[in-house]
Every structure is written in C-alpha cells, then in structure tokens.
Amino acid sequence: MIRDLIAKNRSYRRFHEEFVLKHDTLRELVDLARLSASAANMQPLRYILSCEAERNALIFANIAWAMYLKDWHGPREGERPSAYIVILEDTQIAHPLRCDHGIASQSILLGATEKGLGGCIIGSINKPKLREALKIPERYEILLVLALGKPKEKVVIEPLQPHGDIKYWRDSGGTHHVPKRALDDIIFQV
C-alpha cells in the first residue's frame, strides 16, 4: 500500500484547473503535516492555504516550473493548479535542523495522492515578490510552495544507469519520464 502510494506520488505540473479543491481538503492535508515529525518537536511551520483564483494567481506568478524542460515555461491557463499550500517557518521558533518542511511536504503530497489528487513541491520561488504579494510578515520565512490539483498528465519512472542522466523529460505524447537510480546504486556497501 505505502509503496503504491509513494510510486503514484509523482511531481505533477499540469492539472484540470477547473477542478475545485476545497479549503477543507487543504486543512485535512495540513493536518497530516501537523502529525508528522519535527526536529526537537519545535513545530515551527506555518501554512498559507490558497484555493481562490485571485490568490492562486499571485502565487503562480512567483514560482518556476521544471528547470530541465527548457521549452516549457509552466502550465498554461486551464492546466494550472487548483490550490497551493505555502510553507512558512516561524523564525522565532525555528530549529537549526531544517528538514521539517520536507517531511511535511511528503505527508501532504501522500495525503493528496490518496485522495486522487497530485502536486509538486516548488522550491524555485521569487520569495521577496511572493512575500509582498501575500503580505507575509518578515518574521516568517518562505520555505516551499506546494502546487496541488487533479493531475492532467501521465508521469512514469524510468531506470537510471549508474552514470546516466538524471534529467527528466517529456515525450512527444506528453508523458513525463523521471529517471530513478537503482536500489543497488544507492545502498552504500561498507
């Protein structure tokens, strides 16, 4: 079950934008992050929820998509995410071990996958502009944006040879291919 869920939880970048992703669904997903591990149990993360067209547009304008797809500059109108979760850190309760946001993201995305949804973790963010657009106080640092929606693309995993290219690609039929290293190539033998 968990293997299937993780395998299905790919990064999706094209969505059925007309699909309505409710505020309550976003709350349910953040609740999964709330229950996840946190360094020293400090729980410094805060979440901005967005499922309204106006706020979605502000977020979309300040994120970048798929750096390896040079001829594609992000989802066109009609294929954009229905919702976003912006992950912030309260710098007044932050812990130096900063990986809570990765764990939170995975919890949220696995929850989304279980609901038949999908998304993408976005680290390429114009943080000053997004801060200004959403009026985020200086105390909170923007860490990640999660784009969410009903996926409109097929994503498949490909085997990656030890010295192969890690770049994902999209074929002429629009399927997105993601190379993954082999298990024996990542288990370190001592």
DSSP bridge pairs for 151: 15
**120 is a contact residue toward ligand FMN (CB under 6 A):** yes
* 42 near ligand FMN, judged by CB under 6 A: no
Helix (H) or strand (E) holding 182: none
Do the Cβ atoms of 21 and 53 come closer than 8 Å? no
Find the binder of ligand FMN among 78, 123, 128, 164 (CB under 6 A).
123
Instruction: Among 121, 133, 134, 136, indicate the residue that binds ligand FMN (CB under 6 A).
Output: 121
Stretch of 9-17, 20-28, 77-85, 86-94 contacting ligand FMN, by CB under 6 A:
9-17
Q: In the chain, what are the helix, strand and coil shares in percent, each to the nearest 5?
A: 30, 25, 45
- Kindly state whether residue 10 participates in binding ligand FMN, applying the rule CB under 6 A: yes
Residues 6 or more apart from 70 whose CB is under 8 A from it? Answer: none
Taking the least distance from each CB to ligand FMN, the nearer of 23 and 57 is 57
Q: Please give the structure tokens belonging to residue 174.
A: 């629009």
C-alpha count within 13 angstroms, C-beta hemisphere, residue 65:
20
Question: Does an H or E element contain 23, and which?
Answer: helix 23-34
Whichever of 124 and 161 has its CB closer to ligand FMN, that residue is: 124
Mask for 125-164, x = binds ligand FMN (CB under 6 A): ------------------------------x---------
Looking at residues 70 to 109 of the shown chain, list those that interact with ligand FMN (rule: CB under 6 A).
none
Q: Give the integer Cα–Cα distance in Å for 125 and 132.
A: 13
Which of 6, 64, 99, 182 forms a contact with ligand FMN (CB under 6 A)? 64
Q: Which residues bind ligand FMN (CB under 6 A)?
A: 10-11, 13, 64-66, 120-124, 155, 168, 178
